[in-house]
Structure 1
Amino acid sequence: MRGIQSEALIAVEWLLLGIALFLIIARLNLRLNHLKAGFVISDAFILAAFAAGVSLNAVDITLYRRGVYEADVGFQMLEWKATEQEKVLVWRTQYFLYIPFYLQQYFNKGTLLALYYEIFGQRCTNIRLSLTILSFYCVIGFITTMSMVLFRCQWGCYWSYDDICPSNCWAVNDSLAWAFHFSSDIAIFILPVVCISKLNMSRAQRISASVTFLIGFINISITLARWIVVQSVFTPEPALNTGEALAIADGHTGLIVSILPSLRPYLRIWQTKPHHPAFPPDSERLDSVPSETHRPLQEMTSCRKSNSQTALVDSA
């Protein structure tokens, strides 16, 4: 299976991360300049997820320069020509990329859960209990995933020439990690739908919520597509850069989705912002002077006008 161009992979990675950076700046501007609020735990999750995303992109650039992400290189990297030392270095790098990859995924979940506690946690005991159970499920999923990555297979077998990992070792790890990730995403996606249906929201707020859920649905679709490609359901062996593109898009899109709900106060700010007619300064000054024809007769006869006012009205 021939993958995408390696340059396109790098461009997509940094484009998604650039969108996330723009949203982070908008969030900080909202909290510090408009809401006059300090940092909360969801800010820490967002910044940690962004840092993990930057590390993923930075390492991918080094792999791109080594030719790992060429379109004809498959998952087993048999087509990639390099020395034994270079292959060991790249395999070790790919192994340690699992850490920021899963960190970004679960930091994204932590951001949304912290936001749900803030919005819905004080409204209903059942919702608070559901959030607590879901939070524990995500913690268990993260601990299990990282334990499988670090301890299930023999240490060093991933980048070893002599002592290679068993064929089912990483297949089980990836499948279990994906199952925790996908199921928790579904739960995080469904829970606010039930809560929002009970809230009194304006039309603009409902539209923004719908857009956020649409992007969340796209993110879940990317997660599903990543598993299908990695498991080679429709192809004998997928291209390495195709799987990497889906993996990075999974994490970065999740970061974008986790930031969007916190920007909802911008809608209220824009709706309540006063709208002033765009007149030139001279026109505003002229319009501020009452017209003679609109005054009562007795007011006109008793009002004393200065010479400057008379000249201004005559010029009008």
Structure 2
Amino acid sequence: MNADNFLAVQFQGHRPHLKAVAYRMLGSLTDAEDAVQEAWLRLARADADDIDNLAGWLTTVVGRVCLDMLRARKARREEPIEDRLPDPVVSRETGTDPEQQALLADSVGLALLVVLESLTPAERLAFVLHDMFGLPFEQIAPIVDRTPVAAKKLASRARQRVRGATPSPDPDLTGQRRVVDAFLTAARGGDFDALLAILDPDVVLRADGGVLNGGMKIIRGAAAVAGQLATFQRMATTSHTRPALINGIAGLVNTVDDRLISVMSFTVADGSLAAIDILSDPDRLARLDLTNLQS
């Protein structure tokens, strides 16, 4: 095996980790893949003999690339990323592949990714690399062009904004699924009281139908979310609903005549629905990889 092939094999071994970093930074699977590819191009141009710690070097490069991409988003001021749901990672409830396991580690649900979108690019990088991946601030500081002390303050500010902004999902997937099944039963039966009973008083519903359908709509509070019963009932009675993991928590994949119409993620906290996230943007649904749902 020549040096180039050996380097490619080494890079492939780090790819799941790098994509997991980029996904948490960018909230977009396509952009995450682009960031990982850019890291490979930079590695191919670098002198590998000068790299003592390939994993650390690649993580730093991906961090820099993602930081540049986040700053470019802010500068373009096109579709605000915080006005849409992050890309969901859809998989079966058992048997995810190693790359999906890396993407889903630490239960990085859609609700948490939405909160991360509200951070500044530098705050997000410091929080993701330190709190989620354990990188020391001495390694993070040069990426954000700050001292280690300043980088630590960035992560601290981010942590304060994240803490309490979204509830932590109950760890028991079976319990999560029971609540989602109760949601489906209430929706199919048009049972307002049953639906209201499983909603947290502060539940948040985020529904992203895409730019052409008005972008993301946010509804807060149990009564207001239960008021969407007619929409839930139409979904539950006219589509084929299939249980799935959405970013590691209980969710549903809904199809009509084998055409994907929506993906739903349910954050179950303390036995109640604390958040419901629905992606029904046709363009983004068409790009989702659902191969992991196949038996």
In terms of fraction of residues, the more strand-rich structure is 2
Query: With structure 1 as the length reference, what TM-score do the two structures score?
Result: 0.26
State which structure, 1 or 2, has the greater radius of gyration over its C-alpha atoms.
1
Which protein, 1 or 2, shows the higher relative CO under an 8 Å CA cutoff with sep ≥ 6?
1
In terms of fraction of residues, the more helix-rich structure is 1
Query: With structure 2 as the length reference, what TM-score do the two structures score?
Result: 0.28
